Amino acid sequence: MVEEEKSKENSHSIMKTYIQLSLCVICCLLFAELAAQDTTKIIFHAPENPERAKAPFSEAVQAGNLFFLAGQIGMDRTVGKLAEGGIQGETEQTIKNIEGVLQYHGLTLDNVVKCTVILSDINDFKAFNEVYVKHFTKKPARTTYAAAGLAAGAKIEIDVIAVK
Amino acid sequence: MVEEEKSKENSHSIMKTYIQLSLCVICCLLFAELAAQDTTKIIFHAPENPERAKAPFSEAVQAGNLFFLAGQIGMDRTVGKLAEGGIQGETEQTIKNIEGVLQYHGLTLDNVVKCTVILSDINDFKAFNEVYVKHFTKKPARTTYAAAGLAAGAKIEIDVIAVK
Amino acid sequence: MVEEEKSKENSHSIMKTYIQLSLCVICCLLFAELAAQDTTKIIFHAPENPERAKAPFSEAVQAGNLFFLAGQIGMDRTVGKLAEGGIQGETEQTIKNIEGVLQYHGLTLDNVVKCTVILSDINDFKAFNEVYVKHFTKKPARTTYAAAGLAAGAKIEIDVIAVK
């Protein structure tokens, strides 16, 4: 091979390398754009118990890694009544219900980032809190207040946002 | 070309390929980092109706693909009064107002992942729900309770989070 | 070099280029997948003031770029009492408390995308709003109502979601 030919081949090879790298960069940009996502996948999850599919809301709606749960009250689903034991009994049952929904989606109370606690009586605060702290040990952000009325005569309703 | 030269050229070519691939991987990592985003773009959307720009809140604030909407009551904006027809009339108007804001941002009620429904009277639950189920057919997660008071004497306020 | 050899080498080189580009595309897809994230990092932030670590909730929980803050009341932490000056004094203090938490995480009120304002009396709406508009100038989405009761006899509680 003569020197001239070799030099021509080298410059050709350098150009080829540049083209390849440019293509790579373009691919990367396209996929980065893809990853940034123009839309987030929303899943209105069906409930674990098909009987509850009549409810006018989903127990959990997933948007990407965020899970929005329907507010739960202390309804004991095995008997269809609010749990006994006053505010503490209802708080236990409410948290149990939340745990059930989370578990069905591979989550635990440790995935909860925000709790909104709605009491029917602000004087139940201390009693409710005694039960609460035993379960929400990761300490989600929390807002607590008393409403003028809750569904089904409940003493407490807890609404959570979880993140996987 | 002698054998020695050829072997040297081959090893050179393999090295070049490795360098190219390494560069690609570095590019990919950089763009993946970029896509993971250090900050999320926040847009405090101006309202469709410029007259409503005086309000102390945005009708919709967008953070990435999440849309946080201001709570809506059943105010009929064409007349500047709460809709007639009691709880059901106000519920229809409230949902219509939410739909209007969503539509302005290219969304529908099907993009709503979470509804917080605040009634002025928990006894309105059944009547409100009859109207609600006709519109929120995808079944967002929902929390409903009665407050001690709503702005403008409204019977219902609905606050939604939507995702595009 | 004979023509035949050259052509063979060229086709070899084209094949090599294809393999390289395919590898790049595979890398890109893998990293895009990585960037789309199977899980979001959750941080239950410890409070700035270690004394407040006893609280049953975190002042701020971070999930990716989203910050969920615990509801704040107008507690003046320097004296351990609700701020004086009625609804306006408490509103000032509440917003100051929120600002403190945000600041600790490198954020300001301008990062707030959603405010839920809970009053103890809906008649305080106008007075609270006069203070509010001076601070939340970016206009987060907002929902305001009166509860039947707030913790510690507060006149106002504000719960915010911020985005970095």
The answer to whether the CB of B114 falls within 8 A of the CB of B157 is no
8-state DSSP, B51: G
Give the one of A20, A121, A163 whose C-beta lies nearest to C17's C-beta: A20
The pLDDT assigned to C3 comes to 65
B161 in Cβ contact with B118 (< 8 Å) = no
Q: What is the pLDDT averaged over residues A41-48?
A: 97
Q: Which DSSP string corresponds to C105-134?
A: TT--GGGEEEEEEEES-GGGHHHHHHHHHH
B98 token code pair: 């939410």
The Cα–Cα gap between B75 and B103 comes to 18
Restricting to C residues 3-62, those with a Cβ less than 8 Å away from any Cβ of A are 13, 17, 20-21, 24-25, 28-29, 31-33, 35-37, 39-40, 42, 44, 55-61
Tokens (6 digits) for B60: 């919709």
B152 touching chain C per CB within 8 A: no
Judge whether residue C6 has pLDDT over 70.
no
Give residue C22's pLDDT band: very low, low, confident or very high (50, 70, 90). confident
Question: Is C108 exposed, middle or buried, given 0-12, 13-18 or 19+ CB atoms closer than 10 A?
Answer: exposed
Q: Using a CB-CB distance cutoff of 8 angstroms, which residues of chain C are in contact with residue A129?
A: 56
> Is the confidence at residue C14, as pLDDT, over 80?
no
* Contact indicator for C139, B44 with CB cutoff of 8 Å: yes
The set of long-range contacts for B49-55, using a CB threshold of 8 Å and a minimum separation of 24, is B49/B77, B55/C139
Q: Nearest CB to B139: which of A21, A37, A56?
A: A56
Q: Which of A57, A69, A161 to mutate to test the interface with B (most CBs of B within 10 A)?
A: A57
In this prediction, residue A69 carries a pLDDT of 98
Check residue B164 and give its pLDDT.
97
C140 chain-B contacts, CB cut-off 8 A = 44, 57-58, 61, 68
* Cα A98-A101-A103 angle, rounded to 5 deg: 105
Residue A127 touches chain C, beta carbons under 8 Å: no
Kindly report, residue by residue over C63-111, the tens digit of the pLDDT: 999 999 999 999 999 999 999 999 999 999 999 999 999 999 999 999 9
**Over pLDDT 90: what percentage of chain A?**
75
The Cα A4–Cα A10 span in angstroms is 10
pLDDT in tens, B105-154: 999 999 999 999 999 999 999 999 999 999 999 999 999 999 999 999 99
Instruction: Tell which residue, A58, A64, A55, A62, has the closest CA to residue A46.
Output: A58
Nearest CA in chain A to C18: A20
Give the Cα separation of A63 and A112 in Å (integer). Answer: 15
Across residues A91-120, what is the average pLDDT?
98
pLDDT at B109: 98
Share of chain C above pLDDT 90, in %: 75
Q: What is the DSSP letter of B110?
A: G
Closest residue to A63, CB basis, from B113, B132, B146: B113
The answer to whether C163 contacts B36, with C-beta atoms less than 8 Å apart, is: no
CA distance C114 to chain A (A): 14
The closest CB to that of B159, out of C24, C34, C143, belongs to: C143
- CB atoms < 10 A from the CB of A37, how many? 16
Q: Which residue has the tokens 């979001």?
A: C40
Which of these, C48, C40, C52, C39, lies nearest to C107 by C-alpha position? C48
Q: Provide mean pLDDT across the span B42-69.
A: 96
In three-state form (DSSP H/G/I as H, E/B as E, the rest C), the secondary structure along C3-27 is: HHHHHHHHHHHHHHHHHHHHHHHHH
**pLDDT score of A146 more than 70:** yes
Is the Cβ of B151 closer than 8 Å to some Cβ of chain A?
A: no
Query: Looking at residue C32, what is its pLDDT?
Result: 61
Q: For residue A130, what pLDDT band results from cuts at 50, 70 and 90?
A: very high
Instruction: Look at residue A11 in the predicted model and tell me its pLDDT.
Output: 76
Query: Tokens 């609905």 belong to which residue?
Result: B158
Provide the shortest C-alpha distance from residue A125 to chain B (in Å). Answer: 17
Predicted ipTM of the assembly: 0.87
At B111, is the secondary structure helix, strand, or coil? helix
CB B45 within 8 A of CB B60: yes
Each residue of A68-77: pLDDT tens digit?
Answer: 999 999 999 9
Which region, left, alpha or beta, applies to residue B84 given φ > 0 means left and ψ of -120 to 50 means alpha?
beta
Alpha carbons C117 and C160: distance in angstroms, whole number: 9
The closest alpha carbon to B69, from A28, C142, C126, belongs to C142
Give Cβ neighbours of residue A87 (< 8 Å, ≥ 6 apart). A119, A121, A124, A127, A128, A155, A156
